[in-house]
A = this chain, B = another copy of it.
Amino acid sequence: MMDARKFRILQAIIDDYILTAIPVGSRTISKKYEMGLSSATIRNEMSDLEELGYLDQPHVSAGRIPSAKAYRLYVDQLLQTGKIDSLDAANIRSHFSERTGKMEDVINSAAQVLSSITQYTSLVMTPSGSELTIRTLQLVPVTTSSALLVIVTSGGIVRDSVIHVDSDLDTDALYALSRMLTERLSGHTLTEALVMLEGINREFVQKKTVLGGIAQQVAQVENQQAKTRLAFGGPSKILNFPEYNDVEKAKAFLSLLESKDALLRLLQQHQNVAFTVRIGPETGVPELKECSLVTATYSLGDHTHGTIGVIGPTRMEYGRVLSTLSAMGDQLTRLFSQDKE
C-alpha cells in the first residue's frame, strides 16, 4: 500500500510545499524533482496518497498539500535516520558569547538567538522549580520593613523576590539568619525545604514574619509563575508566513503567546524526551492547529532539564529546526555544567 516510490513522491511534495507554501501539482513533481515518471503516473500515486490520508486537496483544481499525518511520517523518518547535524553550533556559539550567569538573562538571550537563526518564534523554559535544589539563601535589606530574598539553586539559577520582614532585623541580623538557613536547607529540593521551613518556623517563633514570608516565597518559586520561567524570541516572526496573512489568525496566535501559562503547560507535557515534534492538531491547542511545535531539552547537570522550542507553521523546516535546537541544547547544557564547578 505504501511503497518506496510513494514515499519518495510524498517527500518531494512535502519538500516543495515547505518551500513555497502553494499546493503542489503532479507536473511540478515530475519536472522539478527528477523522478523519471510522467505527471500522469504521479497523479495516480497522488490519488492513492490522498486516499491513504497523507494528502489533502484544498479544491479539485488545485494541487495537493501534505496532511498532518504526512508531516508526522516525514518527521519520524527524519528522527530515525538521525540526519540532525550540529552544523549551526559555531554560529550559535558566536552569537551567544556573553556569559551573564543570571538565568533570566540567559534564557532571554537564548530565545533571541534561536529565533534569529531559525526565523521562527522560539521558546526557552527553565526547569520547573520542584526539581531544583537549594544552594544558597540570602536576605538583602531593601527598606526597614522589606528585604530581597535571593535564592541560588543548582545550576547557578538565581531567583529573587521582595518579602516583608520584621522591622527589628538589621543588616547583620538578616545576614546571620541567611547563613543559618543556607546551612540547613542547602542541598535540599525546594519541596523538601518547604517542609523543613515549617520546623524552623516552630523553632524560632519570634522570627515568624520573616520565616513565613520566606516559606511563601519558596513555595512560589517552586510552582514558578510563567512570567519568569519562560522567554520567547521573535514573536512577530509568525507574520512572515503567508498562512498568517489573516489578521484574525495572527491576533489569536499572539494573544496565546501573551498568556504564557498556556505555553508553559504545553512545554511541560513531555519534559523528559530529548526531542518532541507536535504537528498541528497534535498540540491539542485550537489556536495552534496550523502550527507545529518542536522542542528539545538541555540539562543542568544534575538530572534537571529545561526545554527549548520553536513554533512555526506546520510546513516547518523540521530538519533545520531540529538540528538548530539540538545545537542550542548542547550549548546551554555546556554553559550550565561549567557553572557547576
Contact = CB atoms under 8 A, between A and B. Distances in A.
Interface string A117-159: 0000000000000000001101011111110101010001010
A86 to B, nearest CB: 27
18 contacts: A101-B143, A101-B146, A102-B148, A138-B138, A143-B156, A143-B339, A145-B341, A148-B150, A156-B162, A158-B162, A171-B179, A235-B235, A235-B254, A236-B250, A239-B247, A239-B250, A239-B251, A239-B254
B100 A162 contact: yes
Given A247-B245, A250-B239, A258-B236, A102 B152 contact: no
A227 interface: yes
A17 interface: no
A135 B146 CA distance: 13
Interface residues of A, number: 45
Interface string A148-179: 10101000101011100000000100010001
Interface in A40-83: none
A5 interface: no
Nearest to A108: B227
A141 B145 contact: no
A252 to B, nearest CB: 9
Contacts of A234: 258
B141 A152 contact: yes
A306 B255 CA distance: 28
B236 A251 contact: yes
A240 interface: yes
B152 A148 contact: yes
A152 B148 CA distance: 9
A8 interface: no
Contacts of A341: 143-145
A150 B138 CA distance: 11
Given A100-B162, A150-B148, A251-B239, A140 B142 contact: no
B235 A258 contact: yes
A175 B234 CA distance: 40
B175 A142 contact: no
Contacts of A244: 247
Contacts of A245: 247
A136 B140 contact: yes
A181 to B, nearest CB: 12
Nearest to A182: B171
Contacts of A258: 234-236
Interface string A175-203: 10001001000000000000000000000
Contact of A236 (B136, B144, B255, B339): B255
